[in-house]
């Protein structure tokens, strides 16, 4: 995996098309070096210090990046439409009363589900790689992914949170040792009393 280390204070980096443009400041009394453009396909990882400036397009792939408790946190909010939405739109045009039509419908449903899971898994891997070893990655999704995708995310150290539960879940993740509030305690009490 080729890595690019940008450590010189005052270095500027930004995206120019499919290339990363790097400008290193001149040393005392020297002429500035010409900017270097590196194809993005040639780089797997970029490591930089806080003294290196990134232009906004270079940060466009990151939805939210922050430091909390000495840890890098990345929120990945990219999401595709759930396959259920595609099927609901398609359902209006398909007559499922015949057995062959139902079989085709089942095949299309399964392929869409598998395709959607593959996209989400690729997204999780990209976010995990971006987070590095010490980063905490949270993927925010509009719809609940299936258990297979959730297990995949857990195995890769990524939390998957639904958009509707984001405030609550993010608070839980940021403050894991916070005391439980009265509503949570009441819910637990009711759940265990029912058993």
Q: How far is CA 70 from the centre of its chain?
A: 20
pLDDT in tens, 51-110: 777 765 545 555 677 777 777 787 877 665 555 566 666 667 777 777 887 787 787 777
Q: Round to whole Å and give the CA distance between 180 and 143.
A: 27
Does the pTM surpass 0.85? The reply is: no
State whether CATH 3.90.1690 applies to domain 61-179.
no
Gyration radius (Cα) of the chain, Å: 23
The domain segmentation of the chain, as residue ranges, is 1-59, 61-179
The two structure tokens encoding residue 113? 């589900």
The full DSSP string for 136-184 is EEEEEESSPPPHHHHHHHHHTTEEEEEGGGHHHHHHHHH-TTPPPPHHH
pLDDT in tens, 125-167: 776 676 666 678 888 888 777 788 888 888 888 888 888 888 8
Is 112's pLDDT higher than 60? yes
Tell me which CATH homologous superfamily contains domain 1-59: CRISPR-associated endonuclease Cas1, N-terminal domain (3.100.10.20)
Q: What is the pLDDT of the chain when averaged over all its residues?
A: 76
Task: Give the residue from 179, 171, 173 showing the smallest Cα distance to 159.
Answer: 173
């Amino acid at each position: 995996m080729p890595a690019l280390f940008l450590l010189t204070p005052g270095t500027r980096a930004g995206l120019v098309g499919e290339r990363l443009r790097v400008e290193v400041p001149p040393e005392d009394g020297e002429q500035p070096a010409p900017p270097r453009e590196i194809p993005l396909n040639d780089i797997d990882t970029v490591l930089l210090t806080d003294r290196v400036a990134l232009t906004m397009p270079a940060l466009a792939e990151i939805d939210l990046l922050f430091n909390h408790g000495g840890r890098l946190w990345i929120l990945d909010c990219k999401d595709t439409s759930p396959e259920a939405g595609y099927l609901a739109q398609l359902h209006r045009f398909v007559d499922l009363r015949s057995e062959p039509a139902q079989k085709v419908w089942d095949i299309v449903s399964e392929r869409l589900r598998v395709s959607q899971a593959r996209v989400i898994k690729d997204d999780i891997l990209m976010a995990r790689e971006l987070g590095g070893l010490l980063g905490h990655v949270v993927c925010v999704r509009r719809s609940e992914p299936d258990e297979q995708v959730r297990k995949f995310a857990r195995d890769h150290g990524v939390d998957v949170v639904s958009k509707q539960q984001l405030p609550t879940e993010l608070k839980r993740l940021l403050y894991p040792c916070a005391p439980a509030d009265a509503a949570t305690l009441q819910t637990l009490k009711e759940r265990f009393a029912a058993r």
